[in-house]
Amino acid sequence: MSVLENIDKLFAGEPRSVARAITLAESGGPKAAELMRSIFPRTGRATVIGITGSPGAGKSSLVDKLALFYKNEGLRVGIVCIDPSSPFSGGAILGDRIRMSTLGMDKNVFIRSMATRGNLGGLSRSTVDAVAILDAAGYDKVIVETVGVGQDEVEIVKTADVSVVVLVPGMGDDIQAIKAGIMEIGDVFVINKADREGVLRTQKELESLLSLAHRPDMWNPPIVPTVATESKGIEDLAAAIERYAKYTAMADGEAIADRKHAIARWRLLELLRERLLADLLEKNGAEKALEKLSANVAAKQIDPYSAVEELMSRDH
Amino acid sequence: MSVLENIDKLFAGEPRSVARAITLAESGGPKAAELMRSIFPRTGRATVIGITGSPGAGKSSLVDKLALFYKNEGLRVGIVCIDPSSPFSGGAILGDRIRMSTLGMDKNVFIRSMATRGNLGGLSRSTVDAVAILDAAGYDKVIVETVGVGQDEVEIVKTADVSVVVLVPGMGDDIQAIKAGIMEIGDVFVINKADREGVLRTQKELESLLSLAHRPDMWNPPIVPTVATESKGIEDLAAAIERYAKYTAMADGEAIADRKHAIARWRLLELLRERLLADLLEKNGAEKALEKLSANVAAKQIDPYSAVEELMSRDH
pLDDT value of residue B311: 93
Kindly state the average pLDDT of the residues A96-108.
65
CATH match of B42-253 with 3.40.50.300: yes
* AA identity, residue B11: F
Query: Mean pLDDT throughout B33-49?
Result: 94
Q: Is the pLDDT of residue A84 over 70?
A: no
Percent of chain B with pLDDT over 90: 45
Q: How confident is the model at residue B27 (pLDDT cuts 50, 70, 90)?
A: confident
pLDDT at A205: 81
- Residue B120 near residue B278 (C-beta atoms within 8 A): yes
| Burial degree of A284 (CB within 10 A; 0-12, 13-18, 19+) | exposed
Residue A28 corresponds to which amino acid?
A: G
What is the predicted pLDDT for the residue at B302?
95
CA distance linking residue A115 with residue A92, whole number of Å = 8
Query: How distant is the Cα of A11 from the closest Cα of chain B, in angstroms?
Result: 17
- Angle between helix A59-72 and A234-251 (nearest 10): 80
Higher pLDDT residue, B179 or A39?
A: A39
Q: Which chain B residues have a beta carbon less than 8 Å from that of A161?
A: none
Identity of the highest mean pLDDT range in A94-108, A198-212, B73-87, B99-113: A198-212
Does pLDDT of A74 surpass 60? Answer: yes
Q: Count CA atoms closer than 13 A to A189's CA, side-chain side.
A: 27
Contact A187, A249 (CB under 8 A): no
* pLDDT at residue A2 greater than cutoff 80: no
Polymer length in residues for chain B: 316
Please tell me what DSSP assigns to residue A216. Answer: T
The pLDDT assigned to B98 comes to: 59
Give domain limits for chain A: 41-253, 283-315
Q: Which of A160-174, B33-47, B152-166, B167-181 bottoms out in mean pLDDT, i.e. has the lowest?
A: B167-181
For chain A, positions 140-169, list CB contacts with chain B under 8 A.
146-154
Chain A residue with minimal CA distance to B153? A150
Instruction: Give the pLDDT band (50/70/90) at residue A59.
Output: confident
Q: What pLDDT is recorded for position A100?
A: 58
Please say if the pLDDT value at position B45 is more than 90: yes
Q: Is the pLDDT of residue A105 over 50?
A: yes
Helix or strand holding residue A121 (H, E): none
Query: Touching check for A173 and chain B: CB below 8 Å?
Result: yes
* B225 close to B200: Cβ distance less than 8 angstroms: no
Using one digit for the tens of pLDDT, what is the confidence trace for A240-261?
999 999 998 777 677 788 888 9
Asked if B40 reaches chain A (Cβ–Cβ under 8 Å), the answer is yes
Assign B235 a pLDDT band (cuts: 50, 70, 90): very high
Q: What is the pLDDT of residue B85?
A: 52
Mutant choice from A35, A263, A268, A300 vs B, greatest count of B C-beta within 10 A: A268
pLDDT value of residue A92:
45
* B77-82, strands of its sheet edge to edge: B109-114, B77-82, B141-146, B47-53, B162-167, B188-191, B223-225
For the cut 70, the answer to whether the pLDDT of residue A180 exceeds it is no
Number of Cβ within 10 Å of residue B97's Cβ equals 12
Report DSSP state, residue B119: S
Which residues are paired to B144 by β-bridges? B50, B80
Is the pLDDT at A56 greater than 80, yes or no? no
- State percent of chain B over pLDDT 70: 81
Residues B268, B272, B273: CA angle, nearest 5 degrees: 120
Above 70 in pLDDT, residue B116? no
Partnered with residue A52 across adjacent β-strands are A165
CB contact, 8 Å: A117 with chain B? no
Residue B209 is predicted with a pLDDT of 78
**Per-residue model confidence (pLDDT) at position B57:** 79
B196-231: per-residue pLDDT in tens?
888 888 888 888 878 877 777 888 999 999 999 999
Q: What is the pTM of this model?
A: 0.80
User: Would you call B44 an interface residue with chain A, using a CB distance cutoff of 8 Å?
Assistant: yes
The long-range contacts involving A194-201, CB below 8 angstroms and separated by at least 24 positions, are: A194/A169, A194/A225, A194/A226, A194/A227, A194/A232, A194/A233, A195/A227, A195/A230, A195/A232, A196/A168, A196/A169, A196/A170, A197/A169, A197/A170, A198/A169, A198/A170, A199/A169, A199/A225, A201/A169, A201/A170, A201/A172
Residue of A nearest to B90 (CA): A180
Is any Cβ of chain A less than 8 angstroms from the Cβ of B311? yes
Rounded to a whole number, what is the distance in Å from the CA of B46 to chain A's nearest CA?
Answer: 15
| Cα dihedral: B33, B38, B43, B48 (round 10) | -30
Q: Are A62 and A157 in contact, with CB atoms under 8 Å apart?
A: no
- pLDDT at position A274: 87
Closest chain B CA to residue A178: B85
- How many Å lie between the alpha carbon of A90 and the closest alpha carbon of chain B? 8
Whether residues A276 and B271 touch (CB distance < 8 A) is answered with no
Q: Are residues A135 and A44 in contact, defined by beta-carbon separation less than 8 angstroms?
A: yes
Question: Do the chains contact at A273 and B271, CB–CB below 8 Å?
Answer: no
Residue B201 confidence (pLDDT): 85
pLDDT at B236: 97
| A171-185, B26-40, B118-132: which is most confident | B26-40
Each residue of B251-271: pLDDT tens digit? 767 778 888 898 899 899 989
Cβ atoms of B169 and B196 within 8 Å: the answer is: yes
pLDDT of residue A308 exceeding 50, the answer is yes
With bands split at pLDDT 50, 70 and 90, how would you rate the model's confidence at A12? Answer: very high
Among candidate residues A173, A200, A142, the one with its CA nearest the CA of residue B53: A173
Does the beta-carbon distance from A308 to B275 stay under 8 Å? yes
Q: How far apart are CA A204 and CA B145, in angstroms?
A: 29
Query: Which pLDDT belongs to residue B149?
Result: 65
Q: Is residue A229 a contact partner of residue A61, using CB atoms and an 8 Å limit? A: yes
Interchain CB distance below 8 Å, B264 and A304? yes
Of the two residues B150 and B232, the one the predictor is more confident about is: B232
Interface check A184 vs B, CB under 8 A: yes
pLDDT in the model for residue B224: 97
Residues A3-27 have a mean pLDDT of: 89
**What fold does the segment set A41-253 form as a domain?**
Rossmann fold (3.40.50)
Residue A110 and residue A78 in contact, taking contact as beta carbons nearer than 8 Å: yes
The alpha carbon of residue A135 is apart from the nearest alpha carbon of chain B, in Å, by 14
Please provide the DSSP assignment of B219-255 as one string.
----EEE-BGGGTBTHHHHHHHHHHHHHHHHHH--HH
CA A112 to chain centre: 11
Using one digit for the tens of pLDDT, what is the confidence trace for B182-191? 566 789 999 9
CA gap B302, B298 in Å, rounded: 8
What is the ipTM, given to two decimal places?
0.83
Q: What is the mean pLDDT of residues A39-43?
A: 93
pLDDT at B29: 82
Q: What is the pLDDT of residue B40?
A: 93
Of A117-126, A271-280, B140-149, the poorest mean pLDDT is in A117-126
Write out pLDDT tens, residues B120-147: 457 788 899 999 999 999 999 999 988 7
Q: In what order do the strands lie in the sheet with A109-114?
A: A109-114, A77-82, A141-146, A47-53, A162-167, A188-191, A223-225
pLDDT band at B91 (very low <50, low <70, confident <90, very high): very low
Q: What's the length of chain A?
A: 316
DSSP class of residue A142 equals: E
Residue B24 CA neighbour count, 13 Å, CB half: 23
CA distance B76 to B58: 23
What's the mean pLDDT when you consider all of chain B? 83
Q: For residues B66 and B239, what is the distance between their CA atoms, to the nearest angstrom?
A: 11
AA identity, residue B140: D
Residues of A in contact with B183 (CB under 8 A): 88-89
